[in-house]
Chains A and B, each alone.
Chain A
Amino acid sequence: MVALIEAVDVSKRFTGGLGSEDTLALAGLSLAIHAEKPSIIAVVGESGSGKTTLARLLLGLAEPSGGEIRYRGADLKRLDGGGRRAFRHDVQAVFQDPYGVYNPFYRVDHVLATPLRRFRLAASRARARELIDEALRAVGLQPEEILGRFPHQLSGGQRQRVMVARALLLRPKLIVADEPVSMVDASLRATILGSLRQLTDEHGISILYITHDLATAYQISDSILVLYRAHLAEAGAVEQVVTAPRHPYTQLLISAIPRADTAGGWLAPDEESTRERLPLSRAGCCFADRCPVAMPACLAAPPGLYRTEPRRAVACVQYQDHPALPRGDPGEVLSA
């Protein structure tokens, strides 16, 4: 079974200018997305963790410094014209900023009609209109309220849903959604995420949901990858990872989410700022300097990836008694 998209030990390094050091944006990560089993995979992490870099690599917008991205088994860099076209058809993107992706001089119809024309998906204008109407309805929009308008006449939530409709129009196999709701209000967030979930359940489209918001990732995704400073920290079934995190970083992330309850204690001076820290070592674990359970061994070598449960892998020495997986490759841990 050849994966639709596969990242094989991909890394990305941005070279520094004169005298400055290189930045490692993503350390060797492997990930396979199969078209046969549509699911939502969330990629979470703080700013600078490498999640957007991963999205750009998978979309072919950036070239990996090491490893390769494969589309149906073939290296993305070496695809011929037809292969590249098929890739552009199968893999769609929804970006963070629902304001920046539109050309303000064109009506919103333009972003919907262009892909249909490019990929010759509609035989006639009437058919094109039919497809557009259908896609807009699928994301909960009324075509008559949307078409013919300029981007500034729509709300942020409507604009973002039009982008989801555009992605849906091409019947892709995978949508890479990079922070699709971080710029819309809490009240609309649910609606847009609901549309994404529907695409997976009803249209069989897989989604790579990139976010810094663990709570929404928990709500809509099936599996999750937690990245920290370019490295994979924890991966697995979302239910397990969020309700019982094992990696100290995932634990920190989840404890830092302010909850709408009256329990309190969230603001209590966290240990992180007062605790004596181990220095960050290049050779060791990238989280050692912030880790509450770090030991000298953490500075000596990077942690392996251990399969603690059938559907979870953790990159932390605490779990070294469990079977080891290749570093950065959670493999089948992610597939249900």
Chain B
Amino acid sequence: MRSKMLRVISIDRGRSTIHSEPVRAYVGRTEQLSEPILRVEGLRVAFDHPLGKVQAVDDVSFALAPGERVGLAGESGSGKSTLALAILRMIKPPGRIEAGEVWFAGIRLADLDENAIRALRLAGIALVPQGSMNSLNPVLRIGRQITDAFADHGLRLGRSEEERRVAALLAEVGLSEGVARMFPHELSGGMKQRACIAIAISLRPTVIIADEPTSALDVVVQRQVMATLARVQQDLGAAVILIGHDMGLMAQFVDRLGVMYAGRLVEVAPIAEMITSPRHPYTQALIAALPSLERRGTLAGIPGLAPLLRNLPPGCTFHPRCPQATDRCRIEKPMVRDIAGAQVACHLA
């Protein structure tokens, strides 16, 4: 057991990466076999609440291929961020993972002890949490916040080596070397978000989970930050899970999109297909809710409100808001079915 926790530093193309031993062994293997780098099976997350159990993530399964970009879209409260935290085993009480498994590079994450999963976070799967640009420590210089990650993962480097690496990381995200000596308040929103990406890639992860990385930025800066993310992801060969609700951004960035509603993954399909012929009525509504730049007067909302997760409607959870709902939808919960390369949970699809 003790040996499992041993951390190994390997020198790889001049950059050292760090993984706990089992992680590293499997990373090499899956890259050759191009098996999914991340696999989520039947994941369920619940929060215990005095008024009843809240099912935040309900039976979610999907796989992520190495280097693939997958999006997770849905309204606030649909379980997107909770799913991201559950993948990293970061759900805190009263929340708990009820069932399901997460496999990363052939390892079942539930089998790892606390030290091993700590080593895997950032080094294997890096999370850029929601609002992360505002969670940079205001009294530490950016460089120090990057080297913190090295130290925490047992990487002891000399001062000059540390500085060299920080400069290289900042260059990778399009920031100048001088940023290392700056404080967060001296940076613009876009620069802070890039600094967060630099931290996320500091240990060369194979999966990057970005939770609404550009929600507070204006469109021009958003495009620059997304271009940066796309570039570093390609350089690393890492897969990306992009969480957000802007279908436009999804259309331009991801290869495949999963749409979540009330904790369930209701549709997963290649992005082009999702945009041109969405199958689930909720996906159709999400796309229609995006204000058009071509035709005026086309602004459409999704009628009704997202359901309370502790008191979900019977049958299909979307039926009270669905314009096409039938009697069957009110009674029978739709299972996920494979339809021409897409997975859809809808009786009508």
B314 at the A interface (CB under 8 A): no
Residue of B nearest to A193 (CB): B299
Output the residue of B246, B275, B291 with the most chain A CB within 10 A: B291
B276 at the A interface (CB under 8 A): yes
Of the candidates B76, B249, B276, the one whose C-beta lies within 8 Å of that of A258 is B249
B245 at the A interface (CB under 8 A): yes
Which of the candidate stretches B205-213, B224-232, B322-330 sits at the interface with the other chain?
Answer: B224-232
Residue of B nearest to A156 (CB): B76
- Contacts A252-B220, A262-B276, A273-B174; is A267 near B252 (CB within 8 Å)? yes
A interface residues, how many (CB within 8 angstroms):
42
Check A260 against B247 for contact (C-beta < 8 Å).
yes
A121 at the B interface (CB under 8 A): no
A333 at the B interface (CB under 8 A): no
Chain B residues in 8 Å Cβ range of A212: 218-219
Chain A residues in 8 Å Cβ range of B1: none
Chain B residues in 8 Å Cβ range of A301: none
Chain B residues in 8 Å Cβ range of A281: none
Of the candidates A156, A190, A269, the one whose C-beta lies within 8 Å of that of B299 is A190
Chain A residues in 8 Å Cβ range of B226: 267
Check B299 against A266 for contact (C-beta < 8 Å).
no
Check A257 against B301 for contact (C-beta < 8 Å).
no
Chain B residues in 8 Å Cβ range of A188: 301
A185 at the B interface (CB under 8 A): yes
Residue of B nearest to A157 (CB): B305
Chain A residues in 8 Å Cβ range of B285: 187
Check A215 against B223 for contact (C-beta < 8 Å).
no
Output the residue of A47, A185, A191, A261 with the most chain B CB within 10 A: A185
B interface residues, how many (CB within 8 angstroms):
44
From 220 to 246 in chain B, residues with beta carbon under 8 angstroms from any chain A beta carbon are 220-224, 226-227, 230-231, 245-246
Chain A residues in 8 Å Cβ range of B296: 218-219, 239
In whole angstroms, how far apart are the Cα atoms of A157 and B305 in the complex? 9
Of the candidates A47, A157, A186, A270, the one whose C-beta lies within 8 Å of that of B218 is A47
Chain A residues in 8 Å Cβ range of B291: 189-190, 213, 215-216, 218-219
Check A270 against B224 for contact (C-beta < 8 Å).
yes
Of the candidates B174, B220, B251, B299, the one whose C-beta lies within 8 Å of that of A262 is B251
- Contacts A47-B189, A260-B287; is A242 near B75 (CB within 8 Å)? no
- Encoded as 1 (CB less than 8 Å from any B CB) or 0, chain A from 39 to 76 comes to 00000001100000000000000000000000000000
Check A254 against B293 for contact (C-beta < 8 Å).
yes
Check A256 against B248 for contact (C-beta < 8 Å).
no
Chain A residues in 8 Å Cβ range of B252: 258-259, 264, 266-267
A253 at the B interface (CB under 8 A): yes
In whole angstroms, how far apart are the Cα atoms of A212 and B249 in the complex? 16
Chain A residues in 8 Å Cβ range of B222: 256, 258
- Contacts A187-B286, A219-B299; is A269 near B292 (CB within 8 Å)? no
Chain A residues in 8 Å Cβ range of B297: 219
In whole angstroms, how far apart are the Cα atoms of A114 and B219 in the complex? 38
- Encoded as 1 (CB less than 8 Å from any A CB) or 0, chain B from 304 to 321 comes to 010000000000000000
Chain B residues in 8 Å Cβ range of A273: 174, 224
Check B220 against A46 for contact (C-beta < 8 Å).
yes
In whole angstroms, how far apart are the Cα atoms of A156 and B305 in the complex? 11
4 cross-chain pairs, A with B, having the tightest CB-CB distances, nearest first: A190-B301, A187-B302, A258-B248, A215-B291
Can you list 17 contacts pairing A with B, beta carbon distance less than 8 Å? A46-B218, A155-B305, A187-B75, A187-B285, A215-B291, A218-B296, A219-B299, A253-B219, A254-B293, A256-B220, A260-B248, A260-B250, A262-B271, A264-B252, A267-B227, A267-B230, A273-B224
- 9 additional contacts, CB 8 Å, given A193-B299, A254-B293, A269-B231? A185-B75, A186-B246, A191-B301, A239-B296, A242-B293, A259-B293, A260-B247, A262-B276, A272-B224
